């Protein structure tokens, strides 16, 4: 999820568009191929999910495509303009740790059981 805080410094209307289909600033693409904010001023926070391949794209102000544009880079295996957050619910983390521990204990117990069983079989065959 990308969150962009948009504001105007000149008092006139602007609208952010991320040109994911690389055909320039086209208002007809808003809501279909390209994420677009609401027009602003005074301010707006535009949140959207990027469904696109890692690459460098162009963003535009739809109303001023020639004067107002820039690059928007999607890095492979990373987030754009933010950080990946860990689960914040301690209960989920504790449950996850508990399940992981139980599985590890089960694996260790099974391994020890097989190892002991193997030695017994070996010693039995030596004895007989
Ligand atoms: Cu503009």
How confident is the model at residue 82, as a pLDDT?
A: 53
Q: How far is the CA of 62 from the centre of ligand 1 (A)?
A: 7
pLDDT tens profile 16-63: 999 999 999 999 999 899 999 999 887 889 998 888 888 999 999 999
User: What backbone torsions phi and psi does residue 64 show, to the nearest 5 degrees?
Assistant: -140, 60
Extended strands (E) in the chain? 2-7, 16-19, 43-48, 56-61, 69-73
Q: How far is the CA of 49 from the centre of ligand 1 (A)?
A: 22
Q: Residue 1 in contact with residue 48, Cβ under 8 Å?
A: yes
Nearest residue to 16 (alpha-carbon basis) of 111, 114, 116, 2 = 2
Q: How far is the CA of 31 from the centre of ligand 1 (A)?
A: 18
Quote the pTM value.
0.58
Average pLDDT over residues 79-105: 48
């Amino acid at each position: 999820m990308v969150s962009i805080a948009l504001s105007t410094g000149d008092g006139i209307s602007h609208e952010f568009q991320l040109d994911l289909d690389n055909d320039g600033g086209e208002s007809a693409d808003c809501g279909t191929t390209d994420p677009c904010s609401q027009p602003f001023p005074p301010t707006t926070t535009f949140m959207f999910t990027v469904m696109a391949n890692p690459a460098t794209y162009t963003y535009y102000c739809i109303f001023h495509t020639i004067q107002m544009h820039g690059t928007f880079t999607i890095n492979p295996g990373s987030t754009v303009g933010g950080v990946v957050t860990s689960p914040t619910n301690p209960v989920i983390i504790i449950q996850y740790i508990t399940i992981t521990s139980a599985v590890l204990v089960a694996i260790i117990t099974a391994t020890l059981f097989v190892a002991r069983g193997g030695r017994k079989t070996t010693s039995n065959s030596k004895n007989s």
